Every structure is written in C-alpha cells, then in structure tokens.
Structure 1
C-alpha cells in the first residue's frame, strides 16, 4: 500500500511540475507570436494525442512521464520546410528579448507555482511545533545567548535597528535565523517564560555558509522544547534494558538536569561512556505504575562512532520527542507575501548549496534523484495535504533553480547564449553551441548518475 501511495504521489508531483514548467514556455511563446507545434507531457511513444483547432498545437501524453517539452516552429530543425507565411512565427526569427522571455518562462512558472502552493498552505492553516526552546547544550550560541530552556520565542529583530518581526512557530523561527545566518547578522530574539519577556542576543556573523545546512539549528543549540522525551524502544541486552528502562518511559531529567530534547540527551550520553548516569523517569507504559517517578542508574557502554572513529557512550534506547504544536494560519495577502519570501529563501539556499558542492565545501551526497523524490512524495502525501503541497513547492523551486543553471541543454544554458548575443550583437555559432551542448549533456549525465547513486545508497544504507 505504501508503495502504491509513493508511485501515485510521485506521478502526480512530476505531472504537475512538468505541466506548469512547459506551460510557462508555451504561454509566453503564444504571447510573443511564436507558433507552437507540440506540447508533450513525457517522452517516447504517445499514449494520447489531440490537435487544437484554434492554435494547431498537437497536445501529447507520452509513455515515459519523467519530463516534457514544447516544440516550436524553428528553421533550424533539420528536414523542415516552413511556408513563407509562417516564417514570422518561427522561434529563431524572434528578437533576442522575446527568445529570452520564452525560455525563462519555464523556471519562472515553477517559482510562481511554489508561491501559490506555499500561500495555500499558509492560508489554510498548518500544525507546526511551537517556538519553545529546549535546554541548549553548553557552550552553544543558544546557551551563550542566555537560553535556559522552556522559553517561547515571540519575535526577532536586527541588533542594529529595525522593526521586530513576530515568530509564530518553530518553522518560522528557523527561517528567520536561517536568513540572519546567510546575511551574517546579529539579531535579538525576544522570548517569554513564566517570569516575563526578555531579549536574547544571537551573534551569527561568524557562521560560515558550509555550516548552514539541515542541522544548523541544532549546532546553534536550538531544538524544539516544552514537550516530552519518550523511550520509544529498548534494544535487548542493552545498557538501557539492564538498567530497567522500558518503552513508554518519559525521561524527565538526566543527572538532575531537566531534559526534553533528544539531541541534547544523546550528546550527554555520548560524553559519559562508562560513567554511571542517573535518569529521572516517569513510567507511562505500565498501568499500575503510570505517573510514578523513578530514579534509574545506567552506565553507557563505550562503542566506536562510525563518523568520528572515537569511543562514545550508548545505552541502546530509541527516543521520540512529543513537542507542543500550534495551528498557524495567515490572511490572503500575508500568505502570498510569506509564500514569495519562502520561495526566494529556498531558491537562494539551493543556489548556495549547489555552489558549495561545486567548490567542494558541501558533499555531493546532498543530490537526490527520482527514488528519493518518490519516497518523500509518498511520505508527505501520507502526512496530509499541507505536507504534500509544501513538498510540491520545494521540488518546484528545485526544478526552477536547476533549469536556470548556466549549463547547455538546460534553460539556463540557452539564456546564457542569448545574453552573449544581446551584448555582442552576434549569436553564438552553431559549432560552439554543438560543443557546449555535448559538454552540458555530459554534466547532466554525471549529475544524474551521482543522484541515482545517492538514492541507491540511501535505499540500502551504504
């Protein structure tokens, strides 16, 4: 059943994104007076075909739905004889500005789709973790800013000047901190607890771009808090089982320090290999002992960390965090503004990440292919409409950014040709275009191979 959901979700996602991208090309081409011969969804043998009596465009749904294309009237097509009356409507006869607009319209359509999808999510409401900060690890920027854990962040502003922006959820906080990290700014987080509202200065000027990834909030010491840290599973024969931990136990404190965050808890366990640790546990699984507070002593076993090669402590327990969530909903205009801002932020982040991979500052393991996309499509579809729409928006942005890269065979490569033509007054020669097309095709094949390898590696846990 899960496989069927993944296949259907992947087909819907690819279908929607391809149609929107190609319709961007198609619609602007028609506006510029270019004759469109074929609009194809997919490649290979046509499954469905029909011809529009108004425009003469052949609409096709092909057998291989991993892409699509718009074929325009063009004198450069080999073996094509164009009637004299149709020559003004050929793509190659258009001014360079029109050709630029037609090619750019595909990626732009993907960005517009992302804005609409994000606006729909923000407007209809989404359940997100509250912006409650868990107890930060020592010496992290969050701890140095003064956070003790349990504070709810309500606003953020620049340290120099500027109006405060409200923080409505953990996701909202993450994006505001991400933007400040990219800009290397000092910001002030306003947060409240049971005693009042206080300002916490956070200096992000020294955060390098290679540190801005999926885990950057954790490295800053920020984790969702205010919830419950639960033992989800205990491995047989592990230190946790020998100490008496069972599934359903709520971990309340470790060596007398309150804990509500899995990352900080695991870090503490890793740092205390072979040392006795006292856990304050609230038993939840056993009906007779439910709600009872117990002190459990456990000694983490020293094991080799596969990443660092160092000996770290492990107790053999799987954890789950239950954090408070809130319903976040925005008005129509604010939803569109937030959708545009989120699209811009994600596009900029994608470009920077790709640039870091090119210069070797980020791992090529960040590239994903169709297997990973299908997996996430299925997972987001099972989580509900909001998650699936957000996933669609994210992939639409990635598709738009990818197509704008200045690689021949992609839209960005053609745009580069037109920029050269606009500056020099001469079109790039057919010979150079052929050479660059081959180089571009080699780049795309290499990127696809790396992405597919990464997919398979994730699948078999290499």
Structure 2
C-alpha cells in the first residue's frame, strides 16, 4: 500500500478519534460534574475531579480542597470523594477510621454522609446527562423552529428538472386536489403524503397575496437525501445531504417511495444509483444492509436500508417556539431515546432482533466521526443522544454503576443498615465483571458484526 492511500486513511482515523474524544469528554464532564456539585451541596467533600485516567497531565487545587486534573487517557473520568479508596467509590477503611473520631469530618465523607445525601449525589450524574440532552434538544428546537401553520413556502429546494410555479410566501391549501391537513406533525399528514398521486409534477392550490391560485410544483417527497446515517451503505458509498437520486439500476425515480421500494426489493444485491449533485450526474454503487427498524408500536421490523433520510422538496417557513415549548420538545426527545433504548435492549435480550444492534467503543467512535463530518448541528445532536444513553446505562442496577449504588441505598433504607463490607466487595467485583463482559461483548460486535 503506498503513502497516498495511507494518508487519507490516517486523516480519517484522526478525525474519528478527535470527534469521539470530544463527545465522550463532554458527556463524562457533565456526568461527573453532576456528582461533584450535588455532593458539594450535600456537604460531601470531593478530593479529586479527573477527566481521563492514568498519568496526570495538568492539575490544580481549588479553594474547597478539590484537585481538578486532566489525565493522559481521555476515555472517561471520575470524582473521588473523601473516604473513597478508588474511582469506583470503594470504602477506604483507614481514612474512615481516622474520620470516625471527628463527627464533622466523618459527615463530609461519602460513606459517613446521611443516606439522602449519598443518594442525591449518586443520582446526580445520570440526571445531569439527561439535563444536557434536554437542553441540547430544546436549543435545536429553537434554532430550527417549528413549521408555520398553515404550511407556507419559504423556498423550493434545487432539483433536477425544476418545476417553476411555487413562490416564497405561498400558503399551501391543497396538492392534486387533496386538502392539506391543518398540522404537519400528525400521523394524518404522513397518510396524506402517501395518498398523493405518484407523479413528478402536481398541481398545488395556494393562497398568494390573498388570491387562490393553482400552480405546478414538484412531488413533495422527492428522492432527495436529507441526512446520511453512520455506518450505512450510503455513507460508505459517498452519498451526501442534498443529493437527488434520479435512477436505480437504470430505472428513473423521482420519489423517495420509489427508491425505498427498489431498496426493499433488491434482496441485498448491489444497486447502481444515478445521483444529481449540484447540476452534475454521478453514479454510486452500494449494497443495502439488513436493519432492525423500530416501529411506532415499540416493535422492530427487519428491512433492507441504504441509510438515508428523505427531505421535502419545499423548505417550509418556520417560527421560533417559546422557551416552555422548546423545553417540552427537549423532554419529549430525551424520553423517546430512553424508550427506544429500553425497547431495543429488551428485544435483543429476547432474541427478537440481532445483538449486533449493540455498539461498543469502536462503533461509537465511527458514529462520532460520521456525525462530526456532517456538521456541527449533527454532532451536537449526537452528543445529546449519547448523553441520554450514558445516563440510562448508569442507572442499571449493576454494582459499580450508579444504579447499583442506588440499589444498595434502597436496601439500606428498607433494612436500616447497609450491606456488609464483605458483601459489598463481592457484589462490586461481580458488577465490575459484568461491566467488563458487556464492554467486551460490544467490542466483539464492533469487530465481527456486518
């Protein structure tokens, strides 16, 4: 292999690792800061706040006596509270024995603080992850805006064989004689789009300057690429947002539904796509991949996909939502990810879908690079999605994770005393083994799953 081949591969690796480290560092910093700040509010002293593991590159002490540090291995982080023996919050027996003689000092340790303080401190990490997701999704909602109702044209996207007729400011009333639903955010609107005649040019009834007109316009859901998913056939082939697919294996297409039908009926054989990109016709060959696709009812269907989302031929006018509406949108987005993650995990455990749907560090790194390459908005959105997943994972009742500690605290609340130190050591060892096993299984998927 010559150097001209190695250079772009090396550059792609560096880009992927940089994106992965940035995404992971943001999520870990938020998670650990949640533990730190709530612990401080609850009177628990933090000895160390570390981003990364291993040799310390930089450190400083703040006025509260906490050492803030950056370590050489940027793949995680931790807060070590007073009384902890390690980053996993094991008890330092010697430190706790020394603190026992001083009630105030004992109260400031993780293991000597009241149950409520310990529980809030541990729960804060996942909660801050969810809060990050809500804030990001709310910000994206405000940045993108809501589609103005009634549906109003802001622009018509560039397409091959462009149809002149629609103008900015046109209020859409009907397409092909079918009245447009009052809201675009309902199942009825999707059903309406599916019911439109499958023709490249349709008649639009619009209200323009107070006058109702009928003008020609493009099919509203063309084979226009809105976004390209990570680790997909489309990304590997080189498709990009804004591409318009005009043919599949020589057969002309103009609607996204035609493209979808061609992919689903391909039986996994290679497809030759004719693609219009900024006035130039290109050709791409790709092989659809089998995908377990989530459904509205919470189930999954195995289908063939190339990994693109559709985009509308018309850019709709938008309006900026208020703060409350944006936050509600952020909460709804975070909740959808939580429900989808739980559903996906359950279907993998029961064998309903392939365990290859679980990605490990290599897969997440690839997705990080792919999302970063598609722009800041895609990358920030990915960070929010991953933050939700990290928060949810940490709530699983596995010893060594936050959820395991909360389970121990629930036991203590019911029994009036914590599990014995010996039992905790055994359970923590089991938990660490489970976490390590899960990581190895996910890494196996990264390497061997198609």
TM bucket, shorter chain: 0.5 to 0.7
Query: 1:337-365: CA deviations, max 9, x gaps?
Result: 10111001111221222233233333221
Scaled by the length of structure 2, the TM-score of the pair is: 0.64
Aligned length: 339
- Pairing of 1:7-406 with structure 2 (within 5 A): 7-52=17-62, 54-74=63-83, 76-80=91-95, 81-82=98-99, 84=102, 85-125=104-144, 154=181, 166-168=183-185, 191=192, 226-228=221-223, 250-251=246-247, 260-261=256-257, 262-268=259-265, 323-324=312-313, 326=315, 330-406=321-397
Query: 1:370-412: CA deviations, max 9, x gaps?
Result: 2121211111112112111110000000100000001110000
- Note if contact 1:153-1:190 (Cα within 8 Å) is conserved in structure 2: no
Query: 1:34-54: CA deviations, max 9, x gaps?
Result: 1111111111111111111x2
Query: 1:291-332: CA deviations, max 9, x gaps?
Result: xxxxxxxxxxxxxx999xxxxxxxxx9999775363665333
CA distance in 1, matches of 2:325, 2:309: 34
The answer for unaligned runs of 5 or more in structure 2 is 1-10, 85-90, 152-174, 197-202, 206-218, 226-242, 282-288, 292-305
Distance 1:116 1:35, change over 3 A: same
CA distance in 1, matches of 2:263, 2:45: 62
Query: 1:110-168: CA deviations, max 9, x gaps?
Result: 0000001111111111899x9xxxxxxxxxxxxxxxxx99989856xxxxxxxxxx435
- Note if contact 2:181-2:189 (Cα within 8 Å) is conserved in structure 1: no
CA distance in 2, matches of 1:366, 1:63: 31
The match for 2:240 is none
Scaled by the length of structure 1, the TM-score of the pair is: 0.63
CA distance in 2, matches of 1:356, 1:266: 25
Distance 1:423 1:70, change over 3 A: same
Larger deviation, residues 332-341 vs 320-329: 320-329
Query: 1:239-278: CA deviations, max 9, x gaps?
Result: xxxxxxxx9983499999985432212345659x9xxxxx
Question: 1:395 is paired with a residue of what secondary structure?
Answer: helix
Task: Quote how far apart the aligned CAs of 1:431 are.
Answer: 2.2
The match for 1:161 is none
- Note if contact 1:369-1:448 (Cα within 8 Å) is conserved in structure 2: yes
Match of 1:422 among 413, 424, 429: 413
Distance 1:62 1:229, change over 3 A: closer
- Note if contact 2:146-2:321 (Cα within 8 Å) is conserved in structure 1: no
Question: 1:92 is paired with a residue of what secondary structure?
Answer: coil
Task: Quote how far apart the aligned CAs of 1:79 are.
Answer: 3.4
